[in-house]
Structure 1
């Protein structure tokens, strides 16, 4: 029997690009093709305003843009739990929150005491699995840059890295010329849990990034086909990233 998983992506999504959504599609195709996993849903969790990254627009705008980008998507959901916390939250806490609530929902009797309004991020088909003793694993979906950031001294707490990789696992989207396997080999911790790290090669190269999108918007250059049209409209309407409000 295939292991049911939910893919969770954390990040700024500043703004959300088509590549952010493509990561979910690439990962799901790979996991289904391998035959060991069944992807039952995806979650996008934008970072808290307290993260303090340069050019980070308010979570209100980022949540609205993600919701707009996901319009018509039948399996990836927005979770605003992270941005509603009092301060910045670690990736480990985000994974554990969603993991705990998914399995509490599955194992609750008639879903008593479950606040449906707080769980809008829950996959639509999760109710079909109520009572399933197998449970669901929430895995962190990320790019190779996040995996490599584990090697940056002081950036991640050791116990957080071990919990993320050991208890949840990673699905890493990498370029066709990347070599994350070597990075894993050079890390004792990652090698210990290498069975929990799924490397997915993105063969159709796409260099779209939020940084490049923001630069293009500042320069009044077109970003059509790089992010959703309605997200472009939202950015111009609110004058985000230095975009011209009159360019509608």
Structure 2
């Protein structure tokens, strides 16, 4: 039985922090694979700045050479009304029926789920396992304790909390702004991704 982490994000673009986070989580949680799952451009709460084709290609460039990292464009292919993390996790559990599948997320998203802001929040928590990374200013244990949705699922196995060393963030927004303003974000993303963005005049 393998342990698989689903790492969803806009990846617009994918950064070295994304890669470092995935590597650190895989090491600490003994994951066999981390699946990089770029979100759909049809999500009403997200605005992508480059095409799905470019985002997909950048991810593949960034993870090339790491056998633990896998790119999957499942959510990119879904219709807007079918996009929900609950349905995504159902898909991957069906795809890997003999493995343990975890959803990797930041503590800010844990709070949102606990407040019922996600589709099928209750079912999502009751039927899945999560790896939750610390975010500055968020007490994860308190977030679980004050949410009936999270508290009722806290059986000691549902949430794997990582509260040390993974709160460092360099946002994709910052990198996009650097490219747009003629800055130099070269060492904030992989060399291959940097070259691809420059060659294709992305984020200008």
Equivalenced residues, count: 200
Aligned-partner Cα distance in 1 for 2:165–2:188: 18
Aligned-partner Cα distance in 2 for 1:48–1:15: 14
TM-score, scaled to structure 2: 0.89
* CA drift at 1:28: 2.2
**Residue 218 of structure 1 contacts residue 241 of structure 1 at CA under 8 Å; is this kept in 2?**
yes
Q: Which residue, out of 83, 99, 103, partners 1:136?
A: 99
> Which runs of at least 4 in structure 1 moved beyond 6 Å after TM superposition?
none
* CA drift at 1:68: 0.6
TM-score, scaled to structure 1: 0.74
Q: Which residue, out of 54, 63, 68, partners 2:56?
A: 63
Q: Does 1:166 align with 2:126?
A: yes
Structure 1 gaps of 5+ residues are: 33-38, 104-134, 243-248
> Structure 2 vs 1, CA of residues 82 and 204 (structure 1 numbering), >3 Å: closer, same or farther?
closer
SS in 2 for 1:241: coil
Counterpart in the other structure of 1:96 = 90
**Residue 55 of structure 1 contacts residue 241 of structure 1 at CA under 8 Å; is this kept in 2?**
no
Structure 2 gaps of 5+ residues are: none
Q: Does 1:48 align with 2:40?
A: yes
**Residue 21 of structure 2 contacts residue 166 of structure 2 at CA under 8 Å; is this kept in 1?**
no
> Structure 2 vs 1, CA of residues 220 and 171 (structure 1 numbering), >3 Å: closer, same or farther?
same
> Structure 2 vs 1, CA of residues 204 and 198 (structure 1 numbering), >3 Å: closer, same or farther?
closer
Q: How does 1:72-221 map to 2 (within 5 A)?
A: 72-87=65-80, 89-103=83-97, 135-151=98-114, 155-157=117-119, 160-175=120-135, 178-194=138-154, 195=156, 196-203=158-165, 206-221=168-183
